[in-house]
Amino acid sequence: MNYQPDFPPVPFRLGLYPVVDSVEWIARLLEAGVRTLQLRIKDKRDDEVEAEVAAAIALGRQYNARLFINDYWRLAIKHHAYGVHLGQEDLETTDLKAIQTAGLRLGVSTHDDMEIDIALAARPSYIALGHVFPTQTKQMPSAPQGLEQLARHIARLGNYPTVAIGGISLARASDVLATGVGSIAVVSAITQAADWQAATATLLQLAGVGDERS
Ligand SMILES: Cc1ncc(COP(=O)(O)OP(=O)(O)O)c(N)n1
Ligand SMILES: Cc1nc(C(=O)O)sc1CCOP(=O)(O)O
Ligand SMILES: [Mg+2]
């Protein structure tokens, strides 16, 4: 697969990619050395989240980090985020051209071959592959892909930047990275850890902070 996105490129290795629901978590993780991360706040109106989104984007910029905004693409454009992450359903209702024109990166969720076809048609900056293992964080209509399926998708996608997500714990991170995926996205492995700083440090050692250049 030749990587020629219609959106600004990202490095193949985005490294450790925590997905969190508050600006407090964004601040903590940036201070801990994380350089790829996502603000994922669910089911609120734009006006309810705008201040938090804007603050997270400003922090991301201050640390020269790659901060993706989940769902709130209009706010991401308005406040000049590094990127936006969208699900398959979002693709139908989002003005992708507006994201592209504003120069924001785009990440798209996928869960099987058909969704990868749909995502590739949008030529995003990266493709997320989920959910690898069972997850308690989000109700999933599909079954976990497992490592074998994940490795098959990675092989298919060649040099396209990829992110694995779903049930990735400290114990499983090495096996996931061994598939050749460029990044591991985690929620509970950090936010539910007894010691989130130790968990983040271990995951950073395993996955890295991501490459500087695409
Ligand atoms: C890195 C990454 N991968 C997948 C998702 C899931 O996004 P989406 O399908 O839009 O679902 P919600 O997160 O909005 O519930 C993600 N957020 N990040
Ligand atoms: C937000 C999200 N999206 C997924 C997908 O497969 O698209 S899995 C997921 C939750 C990931 O949380 P945890 O690391 O705690 O399992
Ligand atoms: Mg979403």
In 3D space, the residue among 162, 152, 67 whose CA is nearest the CA of residue 105 turns out to be 67
Rounded distance from Cα 131 to ligand 3 centre (Å): 14
Residue minimizing CA distance to atom 10 of ligand 1: 87
Residue 86 CA: nearest ligand 1 atom is 10
Q: Residue 2: is its pLDDT beyond 90?
A: no
* Cβ of 166 less than 6 Å from ligand 2: yes
CB burial of residue 205 (10 Å; 0-12, 13-18, 19+): exposed
Average pLDDT over residues 2-16: 97
Which residue out of 70, 125, 127 has the highest number of ligand 1 atoms within 8 Å of its CB and is therefore the one to mutate?
70
- Categorize the per-residue pLDDT at 199 as very low, low, confident or very high, splitting at 50, 70 and 90: very high
Ligand 2: centre distance to CA 102 (Å):
27
Of the pLDDT bands very low, low, confident and very high (cuts 50, 70, 90), residue 214 is low
| pLDDT average, residue stretch 17-46 | 98
Nearest-atom index, ligand 1, CA of 17: 1
Q: According to the model, what pLDDT value does residue 48 have?
A: 98
CA of 84 to the centre of ligand 3 (A): 9
Q: Which atom of ligand 1 is nearest to the CA of 90?
A: 10
Inform me whether the pLDDT recorded for 211 exceeds 70.
yes
pTM above 0.90, yes or no: yes
Contact residues for 152 (Cβ-Cβ < 8 A; gap 6+): none
pLDDT > 90 fraction of the chain, expressed in percent and rounded: 98
What gap in Å lies between CA 29 and CA 19, rounded to an integer?
10
Mean pLDDT of 110-132: 98
Q: Mean pLDDT, to the nearest integer, of 190-212?
A: 97
Average pLDDT, the chain: 97
What are the extents of the domains in the chain?
15-207
Ligand 2 in reach of 36 Cβ (< 6 A)? no
Least confident of 59-63, 156-160, 165-169, 210-214: 210-214
Closest listed ligand to the CA of 168: 2
In this predicted model, what pLDDT tens digit does every residue of 80-119 receive, in sequence order?
Answer: 999 999 999 999 999 999 999 999 999 999 999 999 999 9
User: Quick one: three-class SS letters along the chain?
Assistant: CCCCCCCCCCCCCCEEEEEECCHHHHHHHHHCCCCEEEECCCCCCHHHHHHHHHHHHHHHHHCCCEEEEECCHHHHHHCCCCEEEECHHHHHHCCHHHHHHHCCEEEEEECCHHHHHHHHHHCCCEEEECCCCCCCCCCCCCCCCHHHHHHHHHHHHCCCCEEEECCCCHHHHHHHHCCCCCEEEECHHHHCCCCHHHHHHHHHHHHCCCCCCC
Count other Cβ atoms within 10 Å, centred on residue 199.
21
Cα–Cα distance measured from residue 67 to residue 82, given in angstroms and rounded to the nearest whole number: 5
- Is there an atom of ligand 1 within 6 Å of 130 CB? yes
169 touches ligand 2 (CB under 6 Å): no
List C-alpha distances in Å: 125 to 90, 143, 214: 16, 25, 10
Which residue among 17, 34, 71, 85 has the greatest number of ligand 1 atoms within 8 angstroms of its CB, and so is best to mutate? 85
15-207 CATH fold: TIM Barrel (3.20.20)
81: its two tokens: 């985020």
pLDDT of residue 1: 77
